[in-house]
Chains A and B, each alone.
Chain A
């Protein structure tokens, strides 16, 4: 099983700032099959990034993903109020699928 470790656990920033979230895998993620989701309180997760760097439909270009192998990054270039939420990475290249434990992005 591939274990995904996200850091930091909590990130405190202000609107307009840049956020950098990390996801590290215990072994190489096949074909960069790595996705990112955002979950707001009381809501289901929403897909942001797939294939490590492709934006999902309707996701603004302030969101970008990068990385390969075991190290992946989600960057939000300029934080909007609705971006303060919990973010999860997900590897889907091998079974079982696994999620990281999440990074909470909070308003400073």
Chain B
């Protein structure tokens, strides 16, 4: 069965430091992969997606992610974190089979220190 694991529940980084959020997936074929961000009390906003092609994907707000098939990973990165990046981040994998369903990881909460 498909699954998504985000190993880090909480991460704290200093403002201006680099960031990497980990995501591992379990899937039998080439996955459709997504990263979302959620501010407190809000819905989820799409940061970026990977369907095929170039394994380094650029997203909004200066985020990027790299698909590594050999490691079943899709880690999210940002070279310099801003205080406004403090939020919860979710990785998701799309389920094939014409349902449109996504399976979400448990989320990583990012805290940014001044």
Q: Do A and B bind each other?
A: no
Question: Interface of A with B (CB < 8 Å)?
Answer: none
Question: Interface of B with A (CB < 8 Å)?
Answer: none
